[in-house]
Amino acid sequence: MNRAALAAALLAALAAAGCNQTTVVDAPDSPPVISIVFPADEAEFAEGEVVTFQARLTDDRDLAATEISWSSSLVPEPLDTAPSDADGVIEFTTVGLPPGLNLVTVHAVDEAGGSSQDSVAVAIRALEELDADRDGFAANAGDCDDADPSIYPGAPEQANGVDDDCDGTIDEGTVLYDDDGDGTTELEGDCDDGDAATGPGAPEACDGADNDCDGIVDEDTPCSDDDGDGSSENGGDCDDGDPSAYPGGSEVADGVDNDCDGHVDEDTCAADYDGDGYCPGREVDPSCPVETCLDGSVPGDCDDGDPFVSPSGVETCNGTDDDCDGTTDEEGADSCFEYYEDKDGDGFGVGSPRCLCAFEGDFHAFQGGDCYDFNGDAHPGQLAYFNAHRGDGSWDYDCDGGEGLELADRYDGECGFFEGGDVWGCAVVGQGWRDGVPPDCGDSADWIDSCHGCDLFDWSCACGIYCCDYSGPTRTQACR
């Protein structure tokens, strides 16, 4: 029943009762005044619902002595009798009002017989009348739309812009409602509307959830393999935006730490791995993909694993091309030895020495000074004598600049008296060449080996150079 109809019904009931809403009975003195303050006129309640009435009493007599009674136009018996409190407040609660339009009246009669009353129209709706849509819930029982059976307390909320479950919130738990309060609904792309940390544009976290609702889990976080190389940052990927960089990757000359070991381009042609200021570059590796060293070093390092090997390295006798010039242990290298050319293999060389890491060809003699390098017997310190020249007409075998004769002694004889002056004869002063003059090197002559004395009666003995016999072969003069 609408408010206009309710008011009309109430006025009709009052007319039928033959009374006004407030009536004051004459009394010898001022009568009490009572008025209903709750509920409001035309209030509606459900059958069986607790209804509390409240009135206020004023009187110049003792309030506690004033009799108060409540009655309803639809109930033959009084509803309640109760005095007011000290402040004149009267409260009455009932659950027994019958369905229909109840005109509830409160009467006040003081001890002098003065009285007054006040009435209020209260509509009590039967339950079947209140649940108009037959959904099991009346309007006063929480049904927020008793004309729609799909709307009632506890009804499933639909994405329709209506408060289906009558909880005061529209579309909660549906794609139209921002359940987690992050500013985005499911319809607007929130993939988890129960988590305020999840929604379009939310920062992705390393938690196994699609925080930004882009269909990818944990992207751009340390636990995601963003570049698809099989490794995440948590797994050691040093650049998860580059699929060519990951632990165990193959290092190439590209300015990237491909194997994530903290070194860039090591063991490639484009970087100085050993820290000597040089990289291999195209000078060493023609297939090098870059023109210059990516770390600013200088090309030309032929062994980038050894800091002592580079174009500025010092060549040393160690079996390594230390200065990267394409030659190993070349002449003049550090720690080299001086070798002389020795063609005849006598251990003595000729000319100026070469400083080599190892003998080379005929350069194998540690000593120089050989005066003729085509005869192994001709060298400094030679002590032997030879009967033929060394090969070039010279007899200088010991390289002292001269031709030394093996036998230079000359024979000298002496005649006279021997044995106390009793014997005349000759005596040998020393061995030597019979003619007294040494022959030239390689020539032969008689050599006096031994002589003996002779006396006056030995006619084969005559004073002079031939005064003595000699014995010995013809000899050839040897030289050195």
Say what the pLDDT of residue 231 is.
92
Query: Does 23 score more than 80 pLDDT?
Result: no
What average pLDDT does the chain have? 84
Does any domain span residue 234? Answer: no
Q: pLDDT digit string (tens) for 187-196?
A: 889 999 888 9
- Tell me how far apart the alpha carbons of residues 310 and 293 are, in angstroms, rounded to a whole number: 14
Does any domain span residue 435? Answer: yes
Residues 360 and 416 placed together within one structural domain of the fold: no
Residues 380 and 464 placed together within one structural domain of the fold: no
Query: Does 270 score more than 70 pLDDT?
Result: yes
Six-digit token string for 275: 């820290």
Prior bond of 156 cis (ω within 30°): no
Query: Does 357 score more than 70 pLDDT?
Result: yes
Query: Does 453 score more than 90 pLDDT?
Result: no
Of 84, 113, 129, which closes a domain? Answer: 129
Residues 400 and 433 placed together within one structural domain of the fold: no
Does any domain span residue 421? Answer: yes
Say what the pLDDT of residue 471 is.
53
The H-assigned helical ranges of 149-297 are 281-284
Query: Does 160 score more than 80 pLDDT?
Result: yes
Say what the pLDDT of residue 467 is.
44
Query: Does 6 score more than 90 pLDDT?
Result: no
Query: Does 28 score more than 90 pLDDT?
Result: no
Residues 340 and 432 placed together within one structural domain of the fold: no
Say what the pLDDT of residue 410 is.
64
Residues 343 and 440 placed together within one structural domain of the fold: no
Query: Does 461 score more than 70 pLDDT?
Result: no
* 8 Å CB contact between 353 and 340: yes
Query: Does 129 score more than 60 pLDDT?
Result: yes
* 8 Å CB contact between 55 and 22: no
Say what the pLDDT of residue 408 is.
82
Residues 435 and 350 placed together within one structural domain of the fold: no
Does any domain span residue 160? Answer: no
pLDDT over 90, % of the chain: 52
| Average pLDDT of span 40-47 | 88
Write the CB contacts of 259 (distance below 8 Å, at least 6 apart in sequence). Answer: 245, 246, 247, 248, 249, 250, 251
In a 3-state reduction of DSSP, which class is residue 170? coil
Say what the pLDDT of residue 463 is.
39
Six-digit token string for 109: 């009669």
| Average pLDDT of span 451-466 | 44
Does any domain span residue 369? Answer: yes
Q: pLDDT digit string (tens) for 378-391?
A: 999 999 999 999 99
Q: pLDDT digit string (tens) for 206-250?
A: 888 999 999 888 888 898 888 989 999 999 999 988 999 999 999
Q: pLDDT digit string (tens) for 44-103?
A: 888 888 999 999 999 888 888 889 999 999 999 988 887 888 788 999 899 889 999 999
Of 404, 424, 451, which closes a domain? Answer: 404
| Average pLDDT of span 285-303 | 90
Residues 16 and 109 placed together within one structural domain of the fold: yes
* 8 Å CB contact between 233 and 241: no
Does any domain span residue 115? Answer: yes
Residues 397 and 421 placed together within one structural domain of the fold: no
Six-digit token string for 342: 């020795």
Residue 153: pLDDT band (50, 70, 90) is: very high
Q: What DSSP letter does each residue of 357-418 carry, written as one string?
A: SS-BTTEEESB---S-TT-TT-STT----BSS--SSS----S-SSS--BS---B-EEEEEEE
Residues 24 and 98 placed together within one structural domain of the fold: yes
Residues 125 and 7 placed together within one structural domain of the fold: yes
Residue 135: pLDDT band (50, 70, 90) is: confident
Domain count, the chain: 3
Say what the pLDDT of residue 426 is.
52
Query: Does 117 score more than 90 pLDDT?
Result: yes
Q: pLDDT digit string (tens) for 310-337?
A: 999 999 999 999 999 999 999 999 999 9
Query: What is the extent of the structural domain holding 68?
Result: 3-129
Q: Which residue has the higher pLDDT, 167 or 134?
A: 167
Residues 71 and 22 placed together within one structural domain of the fold: yes
- Tell me how far apart the alpha carbons of residues 124 and 357 are, in angstroms, rounded to a whole number: 125
Query: Does 251 score more than 70 pLDDT?
Result: yes
Helix (H) or strand (E) holding 5: helix 3-17
Say what the pLDDT of residue 15 is.
47
Residues 355 and 382 placed together within one structural domain of the fold: yes
Find the CATH number of the domain harbouring 33: 2.60.40.10
Does any domain span residue 305? Answer: no
Say what the pLDDT of residue 51 is.
93
| Average pLDDT of span 292-309 | 92
Say what the pLDDT of residue 146 is.
83
Query: Does 18 score more than 80 pLDDT?
Result: no
Residue 418: pLDDT band (50, 70, 90) is: very low
Q: Between the ranges 7-16, 18-27, 35-44, 75-84, where is the mean pLDDT highest?
A: 35-44
Say what the pLDDT of residue 142 is.
85
pTM comes to: 0.46
Does any domain span residue 418? Answer: yes
Of 357, 385, 404, which closes a domain? Answer: 404
